[in-house]
Structure 1
């Protein structure tokens, strides 16, 4: 059981509603960004299919790099959108704003900069040091 499970909620319903609205707005922005990137990727594919005559290795390499960049962008947007989905579910569970590692509250400043944060600065730094 988490330490904060037995403590009264830290934020008011109005604060939770404001956080929820902010998270949902950012999720919607990411969804629109994803749809736009998918459309651009499809246009890129159509251009590639219709414009391969006379391609040399450099042209093929450039097209391959553009395709990989577009796919990377799509994955990044989906990952960020998933982070906001997770933040919304944590808000519903009452665990939003608490570190998933140590269960301490995440600094408000950190949440303002990165609303989908799931770890406090200390746990994040520890995890990054271990990965290096």
Structure 2
């Protein structure tokens, strides 16, 4: 496999993941707008529904954060910077990119940030 085909596979995988996350954020928004289930009249049931809203909001926020990271990775792919640490310009380990394809730092710089 050539590097170009490998990068195209990464791009395709990132776009697929982005599509999945965009669908998730739409569903979360629909659910939070009570598109499926209006707020019930019973106060205790309302408390459960609003507690569920907090979980939905967290899921939505995580999805948006990941979409932003994916968009950044796609930009880096287009610019030819994908796989290069934004901090020290060292190559990012292939295994790290396999696990986190939108990683922007090498393992050493990631450790320093934590």
Shift of 1:21: 1.1
- What is aligned with 2:17? 26
**Among 71, 75, 84, which residue is 1:98 paired with?**
84
Unaligned runs of 5+ in 1: 1-10
- What is aligned with 1:85? 71
- After the TM superposition, which residues 11-22 of structure 1 pair with which residues of structure 2 at under 5 Å, given as runs? 12-22=3-13
TM-score scaled by length of structure 1: 0.74
TM-score scaled by length of structure 2: 0.85
Q: Distance in 2 between matches of 1:106 and 1:17?
A: 17
**Among 65, 68, 71, which residue is 2:54 paired with?**
68
Unaligned runs of 5+ in 2: none
Give the total of aligned pairs. 113
Runs of 4+ in 1 over 6 A off after TM superposition: none
Shift of 1:61: 4.0
RMSD: 2.0
Structure number with larger C-alpha Rg: 1
Shift of 1:46: 4.7
